[in-house]
């Protein structure tokens, strides 16, 4: 890939292991010339993220629990000292309690709803509150988050996460309107089903993913690399006229009336 992001600074939230979509995006951004900063959540994934980062020379790794304002403040203080600005931010964070991803949405508890929406949606708002000055120092930039068709249509067992993705999609539009005057573009990628640790927690995921390969217009599934390439497009000047969009990278599955 050409150096579309040469000398750009890219901050990626959500890398947990080598199967993470966020990791595929980080690799693609690095190949395009970006200087990477990877956040990690807690000691449980620290070793994995640091090992991955070591394979991408020059990558900075920083701890951050997005539900902790002090940790968010510390991350952006370090980023300011190290790089002075920010050109690209990737938000690949989502979480719902396992018990909320089976059965019915009606059974969702108040606590599961609150946790899912706070981590999966509000985290983007909290991050961008702190990232905006760094984007403005660069004259603008690009924000990419990850969403899913379950925020537009009912997907079995997706439940409260589907509601969170719907809220995330709308947040993209409001944030695009808020940040546009500062030259910051905000978009979402709606990826087809990809096997990750998170997706496998959803009951029936493997069967659904197989069905997509059978009926999607391209007659195949989606790869993390396809999503990553789209993220590079959105982060680069090639995507300079795109903001407030939800771009589907799912072999066309989303256009079907009956799947």
Catalytic residues: 148, 158
Q: Which of 72, 16, 20 is nearest to 47 (CA)?
A: 16
Under DSSP, the state recorded for 87 is S
Number of H helices, E strands in the chain: 8, 7
CA distance 225 to 12: 16
Are the C-beta atoms of 53 and 10 separated by less than 8 Å?
Answer: no
Strand partners, 142: 88, 185
CA distance 227 to 21: 8
Strand partners, 147: 190
**Tokens for 255?**
């256009």
């Amino acid at each position: 890939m050409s150096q579309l992001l040469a000398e750009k600074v890219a901050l990626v939230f959500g890398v947990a292991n080598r199967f993470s979509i966020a990791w595929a995006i980080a690799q693609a951004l690095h190949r395009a010339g970006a200087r990477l900063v990877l956040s990690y959540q807690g000691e449980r994934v620290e070793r994995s993220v640091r090992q991955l980062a070591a394979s991408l020379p020059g990558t900075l790794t920083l701890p951050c629990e997005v539900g902790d304002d002090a940790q968010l403040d510390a991350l952006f203080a370090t980023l300011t000292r190290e790089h002075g600005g920010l050109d690209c931010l990737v938000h690949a964070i989502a979480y719902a309690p396992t018990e909320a991803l089976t059965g019915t949405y009606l059974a969702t508890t108040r606590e599961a709803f609150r946790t899912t929406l706070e981590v999966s949606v509000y985290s983007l708002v909290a991050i961008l509150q702190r990232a905006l000055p760094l984007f403005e120092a660069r004259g603008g930039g690009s924000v990419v988050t990850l969403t899913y068709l379950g925020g537009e249509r009912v997907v079995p067992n997706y439940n409260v996460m589907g509601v969170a993705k719907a809220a995330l999609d709308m947040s993209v539009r409001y944030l695009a309107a808020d940040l546009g005057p500062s030259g910051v573009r905000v978009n979402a990628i709606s990826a087809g089903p990809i096997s990750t640790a998170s997706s496998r927690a959803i009951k029936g995921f493997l069967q659904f993913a197989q069905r997509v390969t059978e009926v999607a217009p391209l007659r195949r599934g989606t790869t993390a690399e396809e999503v990553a390439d789209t993220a590079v497009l959105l982060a680069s000047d090639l995507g300079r006229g795109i903001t407030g969009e939800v771009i589907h990278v799912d072999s066309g599955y989303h256009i079907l009336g009956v799947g």
